[in-house]
Structure 1
Amino acid sequence: MAAVVLAADVPPPPEPITVEQAINDLLSMLYRIRHKLQTLIDYYIFPDVTPSAVSDYDPRLRILQTRLQSLSTLSYQKLPYIISNSDQVAGYYLNQVAEQMHNSVHGIQRIFTSHYDRDLEDRQPFIAIWDAITYKKSQIGELGRLHPSNPRRLRAEDMRPNELGSFCRGALQISNGVDRGRISFLESRDLSEGNRRKLKAFGGAFLTWQCPECSYRVRYHVSSSNTSNIYTTDEIRQHGGLAIKYRSLFLAKSHLYLPPPGTTTRVIDLRRRNSKIMIPSPLKYGCVFCFAHGHDLVRHRSAFTTPQALAEHIALRHTRPTPPTLMLHLFSVAIEGKLDDARKRWDVNLL
């Protein structure tokens, strides 16, 4: 006879939570774990030397604390505008931290139970924290389903229409794994002197990636069939004295909406028609790291007219400290040439 499951036996679903709340709650639990660990050390070990098997836990917990504090600097209200399914992505990183907290709690209690006090197995000093982490993991697991920062579940490219001064839909598409860009051969008359020198030295050709949503285009050099697109080209851009290297793909991901030529309207005061009017260069690039931290795109501060200006800004503002791990991974940012996965290639290298 099949067992009958009563409604009362089914645990209620976890209460909804935001990413910000989850981070704060995990930080609070980390403080409790570290405090309880120190209490156990003071009671069972002090004044003797603390064995490394015990003392090594606090540095690990501090690393988790630093990760959470770094994630807390992001604006989870703005992330949906550049990262599709941003709550689910954030939940992945938070769940990793929660899992390591679980492992630490289990390891600490096992050491003290095995070597200092068998009665701790019954008293279970970490049981309340263990249960709290378990419940928090269930709440974090719901982030990808509920999308509290983006209830309409829109893709990043659909969060707002293309408009001047904002990231282009084409940039958001390629940042989120959808590339509808067009490729064309760069004519000889459009080559710069630097381009010509590179062709003379290395051969190959220059291609351009054309955004499908605006008039932005970026050129890149290819020299073999294995490096014949914007994802695989081995061309590296750098500017003398700057602690950063990057590839053209990062520029494509960072570009702002540029209207087709001839579609912009300029209003000029006829009384000043004989005077010289300085029209500022159009903004072409935005800093995804500034935007992710909640800053608007502002000329000279987080929005720029040239690749070099963007690179100078990132080298100055985002190397100490580096962006949170979530941003490093999503935008393929290496630190001194190292990525989380050695098989991947970087689009930005912070030196």
Structure 2
Amino acid sequence: MAALGEMQPPPPPPIQIRQAVDEVINLIVQIRHKLTTMINWYIYPEIVPSEIKAYEPRLIILQERLRALGTISYEELANLVDGSDGLASQYLLQIVEQLLTSVIAIEKIFANHYDPELHMKRPMNTIWYTLDYRGQQLRLVAGQPMINPRRLFPEDYRGVNVLGNFCRGAVQILNNRDRGKISFIEKKDLKEENSRKLRDFGGAFLYWECADCAYKVRYHVSNSMTSNIHTTDEFREQESAAIQYRSSFLARSHLYLPLASTTLGSLGKRESLTISSSTTKYGCLFCASKGKELKRGSTAFARPEDLAEHIGTYHRKPLPPSILLHKYLVAIAGKMVNDRLRWDLNFL
């Protein structure tokens, strides 16, 4: 316990996610440099033991994960994802904790096998304390959304819906606040492939209709366990892009399509504007998360097939950062980090 009146260091302030990413990348570079220096000093030209050699690829993997996190625009991500800074800080904390463990383990290996006095020299002492400090700052960021009852949701940041931008309804469904309406599709409105599917598998086709704009998407249900857009086991395939996706992914990606309002006497009537096949309906969530402007033909598209083609071409290799994969319910070869979750997009 500190003596009475002894000054305590002030608690660390929160840190901006972008700054944290850049600084932890710099610390990994320093750790790798220290590791190489210690190998050259204590071991070279002998063969490096496997337990030491294994740390370099681990550090490279962590470095690549950080660089991927560095491609995200956290200002724009806040417009899409609830508590984006808090969520990102959790991913960063995992990396920081792995680095802290690596620093201790590397020093222990060299001390046990080459230099018993290394415990007192602590060649990575400054790096360890800096990492620990950044970890404390990130924990503050991670806890901020939970202690702020007045925090705004992403759809609140967006304000009024704007043509050519993600709809508030899409952002709500992205953050598990789906307010969409469900309606039955009449037989006369079914496409030939829809009718064929009903003959083969039964069930029904439904519309998910956005509560904030004119967008709607159809999906098939076959039993009571898969009776809504979030549970249906139906998916669409895009063989040319080696991906699979569900109608719920399209709903999460839809752009604002305006409604027309007309007044008949004292009754208000809400009507959809005519939506043609050439209307831009979908934006790429991965591009938007990196701060790219939604532009028709490059990051915004009229058809689901065009969106899928873009994602398969530009976001399959390299894969988006893990925070986006998890938040946007993306699977790799059908595998999710959390097996209890259903994927919306699957990279084959």
When normalised by structure 1's length, the TM-score is: 0.89
* Structure 2 residue 156 is matched with structure 1 residue 158: yes
Task: Identify which of 35, 50, 66 aligns with 2:64.
Answer: 66
| Amino acid aligned to 2:21 | I
**Contact (CA 8 Å) 1:167, 1:257: kept in 2 or not?**
yes
Match of 1:191 in 2: 190
Query: What does the per-residue CA deviation read over 1:272-303, in whole Å, with 9 as the maximum and x for residues that have no partner?
Result: xxxxxxx9932111101010111111111111
Q: In the TM superposition, what is the alpha-carbon distance from 1:145 to its structure 2 partner?
A: 5.4
Task: Identify which of 87, 91, 96 aligns with 1:98.
Answer: 96
Query: What does the per-residue CA deviation read over 1:221-241, in whole Å, with 9 as the maximum and x for residues that have no partner?
Result: 111122111111110101342
Aligned residues: 331
| Amino acid aligned to 2:125 | I
1:296 to 1:46, Cα distance in 2 relative to 1, 3 A: same
1:198 to 1:36, Cα distance in 2 relative to 1, 3 A: same
Query: What does the per-residue CA deviation read over 1:243-271, in whole Å, with 9 as the maximum and x for residues that have no partner?
Result: 111011100100011112568xxxxxxxx
Match of 2:173 in 1: 174
Counterpart of 1:218 in 2: which secondary structure? Answer: strand
Query: What does the per-residue CA deviation read over 1:49-71, in whole Å, with 9 as the maximum and x for residues that have no partner?
Result: 11111100110000000000001
Q: Distance in 1 between matches of 2:29 and 2:99?
A: 11
Match of 1:287 in 2: 284
RMSD, aligned CA: 2.0
* Structure 2 residue 302 is matched with structure 1 residue 305: yes
| Amino acid aligned to 1:225 | S
Identify the range of structure 1 (232-241 vs 202-211) with the bigger mean alpha-carbon deviation. Answer: 232-241
**Contact (CA 8 Å) 2:240, 2:309: kept in 1 or not?**
no
Which residues in structure 2 correspond to 1:205-220 (within 5 Å)?
205-220=204-219
Q: In the TM superposition, what is the alpha-carbon distance from 1:338 to its structure 2 partner?
A: 2.1
Instruction: Structure 2: give runs of 5+ residues left out of the alignment.
Output: 263-275
Q: Distance in 1 between matches of 2:238 and 2:53?
A: 45
Q: Distance in 1 between matches of 2:36 and 2:300?
A: 47
**Contact (CA 8 Å) 1:181, 1:211: kept in 2 or not?**
yes
Query: What does the per-residue CA deviation read over 1:199-222, in whole Å, with 9 as the maximum and x for residues that have no partner?
Result: 111111111111111111111111
Q: Distance in 2 between matches of 1:5 and 1:291?
A: 53
Q: Distance in 2 between matches of 1:146 and 1:5?
A: 32
Instruction: Structure 1: give runs of 5+ residues left out of the alignment.
Output: 264-278
* Structure 2 residue 253 is matched with structure 1 residue 258: no
Q: Distance in 2 between matches of 1:172 and 1:166?
A: 11
Q: In the TM superposition, what is the alpha-carbon distance from 1:142 to its structure 2 partner?
A: 2.4
**Identity level (%):** 50
Q: Distance in 2 between matches of 1:345 and 1:107?
A: 38
When normalised by structure 2's length, the TM-score is: 0.90
**Contact (CA 8 Å) 1:215, 1:261: kept in 2 or not?**
no
Q: In the TM superposition, what is the alpha-carbon distance from 1:4 to its structure 2 partner?
A: 9.0
Identify the range of structure 1 (317-326 vs 11-20) with the bigger mean alpha-carbon deviation. Answer: 11-20
